[in-house]
Amino acid sequence: MGARSAQEIWEAALGELQVQVTKPYYRTWLEKTAGLSFQDNQFVVGVPNTFVSEYLDKNQRSLIEKTLIGLTQPNIKVLFQVSPERETSASQIAHPACNSKYTFDSFVVSNSNRLAYAAALSVAENPGHSYNPLFMYGGVGLGKTHLLHAIYHMAQANNIRALYVSAEQFTNEFVDAIREKSTDEFRSKYRSVDMLLIDDIHFISGKEQTEESFFHTFNELHNTNRQIVITSDRPPKSMPHLGDRLCSRFEWGLIADIQPPDFDTRLAILQAKAEQEKANVPLEALEFIAHRIKQNVRELEGSLHRVIAYAKLFRALLTPELAAQALEDIASKGAKSVPVTPKLMIETVANSFQLTPADLKGRKRDQVTAQARQVAMYLIKQTTNCSLAQIGQELGNRNHSTVIHACQKIASDMDDDPYLRRKIFDIQQGTYPKQKSRSY
Ligand code: ADP
Ligand code: MG
């Protein structure tokens, strides 16, 4: 080991790891780690919290050990250790990192979302002093998460300690903390921030213990003027099983709804997205899409991607006719009328990879099966309300961190791999030709 400190070795290792994993993955799991000590054959890596520690231990131990061995000596055991001084900065990245594209600038404002946008901007600029809590609600794919991330980015830029977490992760961490008797750590993590951004709160409604814990967190933050922002798919009053105490607290501040966008807004969003993607899509094609997709901005984006991918794939000019063709199946199938279930999705994905559902649920780990399994996890997450834990269960009792990893992996692979992207679009639209063999 000589003169090189654990920190120096670890920095070199991070340099190598950085090129072996995707950028969001690196940011989420590795960026805020440190080389703490290196003695005999034990290398101790400091990590921000138990969530990251468990994740790395389970999923990346061998890659990390291999990398360290390459840099030092033939025999190394890695130990992940929560290192408390990193807690605050790191707890912010302990969750799938905030999407850097989701900013106030990239959010298209219209009558359907103006109040939510203005309120979000106001709490981001002036946390704890305008509306507290800010409660935003609206249907799927209307920009709630986008606004939360936008607040997060602005807070970061102003050196405000913000923590973004989905209610599902909050619940998982709470349950883990109880199991591991580390509730003090859990409590201090959530109560040491200036701003708590909690997404999809409807997830905890009815989970009494988690609600109770959230209630105390809420009070403590609120009493000390720290900003809380909450999103939900419905207003507090309409949440079944939500305790009265929490419900009334949610109504203390401002409640802002987000409605589906009108035609002009849909068109403006499509234009913004096409520009972001540097795709040259003629106005008529965008109008065509904006006419077709009405309820959901995510779907709007998906359709745009589908049309762009279609044009690239067939090297065709992007005309409204081509857009019509690309979107034909969506319209004719009335895809919305058939609710997607995990079972159905697993069958469809298996079919599209020429595998069986049993393959996806089983232990096979060859590349195709592994990818198909990850695609199934990704798509179930995208198209149903299943929790990560449920998704893991459906796919052969895998745990929720495996599912998180799969979703991130597929999302990033899609960026680089047009065939995968196309395949996923096809499955998503339910148009994958059944039983027909297609080389992939
Ligand atoms: P929700 O959390 O409400 O389900 P998201 O925030 O995930 O929805 O939004 C879905 C997608 O639509 C995201 O890619 C987001 O950037 C985009 N989006 C939604 N509303 C807008 C908007 N007003 N301007 C730009 N993009 C939007
Ligand atoms: Mg969301």
In the chain, what are the domain boundaries? 3-94, 114-258, 263-331, 342-436
What spacing in Å lies between the alpha carbon of 298 and ligand 2's midpoint?
10
Q: Relative to the alpha carbon of 302, which ligand is closest?
A: 1
- pLDDT band of residue 97 (cuts 50, 70, 90) is low
Q: pTM score, two decimals?
A: 0.59
* 145 pocket-lining for ligand 1 (C-beta < 6 Å): yes
| Model confidence pLDDT, tens digit, residues 47-65 | 988 878 888 998 889 889 9
- pLDDT value, residue 406: 95
CATH number of 263-331: 1.10.8.60
From the options 3.20.20.70, 3.60.15.10, 3.40.640.10, 3.30.300.180, give the CATH code of 3-94.
Answer: 3.30.300.180
Which has more confidence, 159 or 384?
A: 159
pLDDT digits (tens, 9 = 90+) for 270-311: 999 999 888 889 999 999 999 988 888 988 988 898 888 778
- pLDDT greater than 60 at residue 333: no
Q: Which of 223-227, 295-299, 414-418 ranks highest by mean pLDDT?
A: 223-227
CA of 137 to the centre of ligand 2 (A): 10
Give residue 70's pLDDT: 82
Pick the CATH number of 114-258 from 3.30.479.10, 3.40.50.300, 3.30.70.360, 1.10.10.10: 3.40.50.300
Does residue 251 register a pLDDT over 70? Answer: yes
342-436 CATH fold: Chromosomal Replication Initiator Protein Dnaa; Chain: A; (1.10.1750)
State whether the beta carbon of 199 lies less than 6 angstroms from ligand 1.
Answer: no
Would you say the CB of residue 305 lies under 6 angstroms from ligand 1?
no
Q: What digits encode the pLDDT tens for the residues 13-36?
A: 888 887 777 776 787 789 889 999
In SS3 terms, the chain reads as CCCCCHHHHHHHHHHHHHHHCCHHHHHHHCCCCEEEEEECCEEEEEECCHHHHHHHHHHCHHHHHHHHHHHCCCCCEEEEEECHHHHHHHHCCCCCCCCCCCCCCCCCCCCCCHHHHHHHHHHHHCCCCCCCCEEEEECCCCCHHHHHHHHHHHHHHCCCCEEEEEHHHHHHHHHHHHHCCCHHHHHHHHHCCCEEEEECHHHHCCCHHHHHHHHHHHHHHHHCCCEEEEEECCCHHHCCCCCHHHHHHHCCCEEEEECCCCHHHHHHHHHHHHHHCCCCCCHHHHHHHHHHCCCCHHHHHHHHHHHHHHHHHCCCCCCHHHHHHHHHHHHHHCHHHCCCCHHHHHHHHHHHCCCCHHHHHCCCCCHHHHHHHHHHHHHHHHHCCCCHHHHHHHCCCCCHHHHHHHHHHHHHHHHHCHHHHHHHHHHHCCCCCCCCCCCC
Give the ligand whose atoms come closest to the C-alpha of residue 143: 1
The residue-averaged pLDDT of 228-244 equals 89
